[in-house]
Amino acid sequence: MAVIGITACRKLEDYRQALLHVGGEVRILDPSMALDDALEGTDGVMLTGGGDIAPEHYGGAPHESLTDVEPERDAFELALVKEARKRHLPILAICRGIQVLNVACGGNLIQDIASEQTGSLEHNLKVPPNQPFSRAHEVWVEKDSLLASLLRERLESDSIDVNSRHHQAVKDVAPGFKVTATAPDGMVEAIEDPAVPFCLGVQWHPENFWRTGEFRPLFEGFLNAAQTSDARAR
């Protein structure tokens, strides 16, 4: 059974359940841990949601909307991504996680969509995450991407409906990564590194639907990559 390290966050249970329901074993990775201890025996890393990343990590000045910054978490997770990639571990990054992944690998962020992007959709809907009306908008998925292959049975004309709870987003994509999904307003909704078997970030919250299974293939594909990886941290 693959062991998946999940970064600690305030709303952890849906992430845990999404992995447990596809057969994974979960380990919580806390900023108090040393990197070697965190990754010892870990077969894959999931980056979870949460507050904003301090813009100093990508050369930005703080926007007035900046909120819930956790310096220790930022430092730990950015270093965790770099070390996990050195060890060729599969990575699945969700919401804040896609932003951490992008910044760790050399990209930057839009600090506040509503004030910086004229004509943008509402991306921060305060609704119950696991109810049908929480699906906020569709995303358009690039053909021949890892994301498209994982969601092929659910895609309708290369699009799929998602939920949305974020006010920041990927701006300039990290070198070597490609954008594999966008919202109708052009906002980046998924990135991946095509040079490795599994390194995927999504901006929405697929873990909220573990009960109904809409995004189960994302977690199945991630777990399969962790199980078959030939460069584990053990």
For the question of residue 95 being annotated catalytic, the response is yes
Q: Catalytic residue among 77, 137, 205, 214, which?
A: 205
Residue 105 known to be catalytic: no
User: Are residues 150 and 166 in contact, defined by beta-carbon separation less than 8 angstroms?
Assistant: no
Catalytic residue among 77, 189, 207, 214: 207
Q: Does the annotation mark 205 as catalytic? A: yes
Spell out the domain ranges in the chain. 3-228
The owner of tokens 């980046």 is 188
Measured from the Cβ of residue 124, the count of other Cβ atoms closer than 10 Å reads 14
Question: Tens digit of pLDDT for each residue in 76-113?
Answer: 999 999 999 999 999 999 999 999 999 999 999 999 88
What is the architecture, at CATH level 2, of domain 3-228?
Answer: 3-Layer(aba) Sandwich (3.40)
The pLDDT, as a whole number, for residue 133 is 47
Q: What is the pLDDT of residues 5-56, one digit of tens each?
A: 999 999 999 999 999 999 999 999 999 999 999 999 999 999 999 999 999 9
Catalytic member of 9, 95, 105, 199: 95
- Kindly report, residue by residue over 139-163, the tens digit of the pLDDT: 999 999 999 999 999 887 899 989 8
Q: At what angle do helices 71-86 and 96-104 cross, to 10 degrees?
A: 60
